[in-house]
A and B are shown apart, each in its own frame.
Chain A
Amino acid sequence: MKKVILVQRNEPGSDNGVNEGKLAELKELARAAHYQVVGVLTQTRYPDRKYQVGRGKVDELAVFVEVSGADKVIFNHQLSTTQIYNISETCKCEVIDRFNLILEIFASRATTRRAKLQVELARLQYELPKARSIVSLLKKDERPGFMGLGGYEDSYEQDVKKRIVRIRNEIHSSCKSSESLRSFRHERGFSLVALAGYTNAGKSTLFQSLVKEGTEVEDMLFTTLSPTTRSLSINQRRVLLTDTVGFIEDLPHWMVDAFRSTLDEIFLADVILLVVDMSDPVEVIRQKLVVSHDIFWKRIEGVEIVTVLNKVDMVEPDDLKRKVDEISYLAPHPVLISASSGDGFEALVDKIYENLPQWDRSRIALDMSEESLSMVSWLYDEGIVHSIDYGEQIVLDIEAREEILQKVSKFNIDDHRVLS
């Protein structure tokens, strides 16, 4: 794990609670990017053009970096090229800002081709205004060799612009690919469940607990896919559970597209677990839910939402009831849990099961043959085999999605249909 130091400059006269909230979110983001936070520096002052924080604070930071062995420094502000350059020269280590950090998280979580392209696009858009200043900054410092480069300044910027155009085109033509990932997974008899909600709601904690509790389906194809997707069995139904970055507050507009595409995993799910931190004040909960509905609107069709009201262990029963009442009109299929203690998991699993895509049941009879035996194993992969009897014929009681039952419908022995 790489070690990082976080730096935050607070505006003079700004609200303490708000500042603490911002710092807490930065910590969460650093954790999500798999950094180990070894220290935090804050300073209250107006921004410094050259260093963001004060010159003296940067010297202090440099010492801090050296003793703690930090690999990186993360500022909770957008930094100019000059500032990044100056701070990293002083601290002798890599310096990034909040937006670079969010881009890193997106990049590591982007699984679909489209999501990857969109993250790259956001990165280039972030780089574009800097493309010019990097060159002039290096010129100003009279680095040898730069004066002789002539048109480099223009061509660097042109290069970034060209790549932006190319990626935009590619995104346009690859819109369909994430859909195919979904149908591929469905073809393997899985239903898709994704965790959504704001940073710190408890998504990852719930993910870990569900994975630990549930019997994991052994399937190399999926367990190797990504560390944030696991296969589980929920009342015999095979489910792929995906943890996501979730929703992040105050995203700059140029990052919104990248953010939306990493949410593909959520929009393409069959069931969304919308995790809510019930220890937040009720007005905050309501606001976050409204934004969540806004994000879902027109992006999910036929996807069921289960609202996971988490951290009930932190709220007084009376208070909890009042909060639940107040937000119920924004909470589809609500269920109260504590992800850390495991309270309410049974109800949650039932809720997930109830909202999985409908599967139907059917009894079929197959003649004994090599072909039938391979069909039986295919049915085991695709659905649930409730019973199987090997007699003169192989008689199966199966549960599966409609396409599968359709394929074996000619072997159906339900109701009035008689064995031939």
Chain B
Amino acid sequence: MSLLSLSGISREVVLPDGSLLPILTGVDLEIAPGEHVSIVGRSGSGKSTLLNILGLLDNPTAGTYLLDGEPTDHLRARRRSRLRGEVFGFVFQQFNLLPRRTAVENVAAPLLYARGRDFLRRRRTAAEMLDRVGLGARADHVPERLSGGEQQRVAIARALVRAPRVVLADEPTGALDVETGAQVMALLAEATSENGAALITITHDLSVAALASRRYRLDGGRLSPLVEAGSLGAATSDRGTA
């Protein structure tokens, strides 16, 4: 069974003049546990919207989204929030670290919403997680004193600290130079697979997309498998191996 299953997902927004603007149209997507999927697309193609729907931050206007085989459309707000915290970890393009909190406090922050042991042991868990991304020595630094690459590594540690089953990364290398971006991306891919979590990466960068086992492109709100020049067969065969 798929972990996440989208079929016929559409998202429209009502513009101020009353007209409807379609952002996503008829998106079908299956994600299995632990796999790495990338989605490329031009700016404004609806990538973030798709990721927000996957992460239960936004709702589709049509179609079915099954999480663990269960429909998500009539979840109560409270349950949605809980599921979001338990199932997903987010990595943002702008890192979105909490300002003026140290690295370890940032990594511990998601555990404030966990319960029992996870909540009580949050600082220790966070420190271990920072070690894993190689920032143990920077635990007491505030984001303002970390480089972009370091900030994104803190964000990766934070996304993984609750051991999510899916990590959603929205242009994780978008604010980094090419070399740092490659390092961060390698870390993200490695750490998520170590955790056994699925990774869905949104990117402009084809070399980042190439790290994934399955690749898609989003164009004008429509999702299709990415066909790379010269590897036409690879793209389709990837689907089968996933």
| Chain A complexes with chain B | no
